[in-house]
Amino acid sequence: MNALTPDEDLTKEDVAALILAAKKKAKLTWEGIADAIGMSPVFTHSACMGMNAFPVEKAEALAAHLGLPAGSAEVLAESPNKVFAQTVPTDPCIYRFYEVVGVYGPTLKALIHEKFGDGIMSAIDFDMKLEREASPKGDRVKITMSGKYLAFNTW
C-alpha cells in the first residue's frame, strides 16, 4: 500500500491496512479495540476488514481511537461489498471452518428446516462470540452463533 494522505480517496482495503498497522504499532488486541468502541470483537474485526459497515458513531470512535486519517470513518460506515475468495481456503484455521460447513452444512440446513420450516438463518441479523473453554483434554474453542430465522417467501 502506498502512503496515503487525508486528501486521497480511501477504499475499504486501504482502511483495513491502516487499522492493522495501527493495531500492530499500538500492540492492541481485537477485544481491546472492541471494548474501546463498545462493540463485540467479532463484529469489530469483520467491519474493520470491510465485510460489515460500522454505525457512523462507532466508525468515528474507532478512527479516533486508532488515529486513522480523515475520511476513514466515512469509509468504515459505507455498505460493504462482501467479496471474498470462492476457492478452498489454504490457511489451516480458515480451512477448518470451510470443512465444518462442508461436513455439517447440509445437516444444519435439514435441522433448521425441520424446526422452523423452509428458510435460512440470517447472517445480517446475526450475533457471534468466541470463547476459550477449559477442558481436561486440552482447551477448546467455543463459538456461539445466533441468527434470525428468515422464511422463504412463497408466491
Residues labelled catalytic: 96, 99, 122
Cell of residue 69, nine digits: 486519517
Residue type for position 107: T
Residue type for position 72: S
Classify 134 in phi/psi space as left (phi over 0), alpha (psi -120 to 50) or beta.
beta
* Cβ contacts of 55 within 8 Å, gap of 6 or more: 77
Residue type for position 129: K
Task: Tell me the C-alpha distance between 119 and 122, whole Å.
Answer: 9
Three-class secondary structure of residue 73 per DSSP: helix
